[in-house]
């Protein structure tokens, strides 16, 4: 994992003289190993990619970053090592039960005490049927 250089991106600069703006595998320009969008080396992944693979960063610090432009803003995504990632934690049965209770409370109307198939709007504090009957 020590060599983060890309042969293709290195050759592009040598062949054409064009410098890829966000390619800095040694971290001399940006202070951190940096790669353009879609050019991250193998063995590194973003948090979203880790989550999709059922992993989490497990407290490790980012080892590189991806930079790209979105409209006029510069965007960044940090890269983590796959070999140091740990499996995602799962909720315990007690935690799942607490979450289910909280979500049920969000669907229960305070006025008529009915459990609705949708979340009660917080701005009304009551279900839509009760709110229509009592305009504020």
Query: Is the domain of 65 the same as that of 29?
Result: yes
CB-CB contact of 77 with 44 (8 Å): no
pTM of the model: 0.65
CA distance 67 to 12: 18
- The boundaries of the domain holding residue 79 are 7-87
Query: Is the domain of 58 the same as that of 102?
Result: no
Query: pLDDT by residue (tens digit) across 14-50?
Result: 665 555 678 888 888 888 898 888 888 899 999 999 9
Question: Looking at 49, 65, 87, which one is the last position of a domain?
Answer: 87
Query: Is the domain of 82 the same as that of 104?
Result: no
Query: Is the domain of 16 the same as that of 56?
Result: yes
Query: Quick one: tokens of 35?
Result: 């790669």
The verdict on residue 1 lying in a domain is no
The verdict on residue 52 lying in a domain is yes
Query: Is the domain of 46 the same as that of 25?
Result: yes
CA distance 126 to 131: 6
pLDDT of residue 6: 63
């Amino acid at each position: 994992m020590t060599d983060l250089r890309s042969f293709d991106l290195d050759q592009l600069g040598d062949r054409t003289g064009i410098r890829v703006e966000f390619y800095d595998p040694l971290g001399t320009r940006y202070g951190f190993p940096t790669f353009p969008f879609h050019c991250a080396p193998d063995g590194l992944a973003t948090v979203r990619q880790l989550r999709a693979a059922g992993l989490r960063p497990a407290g490790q610090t980012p080892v590189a970053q991806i930079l790209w432009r979105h409209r006029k803003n510069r965007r960044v995504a940090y890269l983590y090592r796959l070999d140091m990632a740990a499996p995602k934690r799962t909720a315990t049965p007690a935690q799942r039960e607490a979450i289910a209770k909280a979500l049920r409370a969000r669907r229960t109307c305070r006025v008529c005490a009915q459990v609705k198939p949708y979340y009660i709007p917080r701005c009304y504090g009551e279900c839509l049927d009760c709110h229509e009957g009592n305009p504020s």
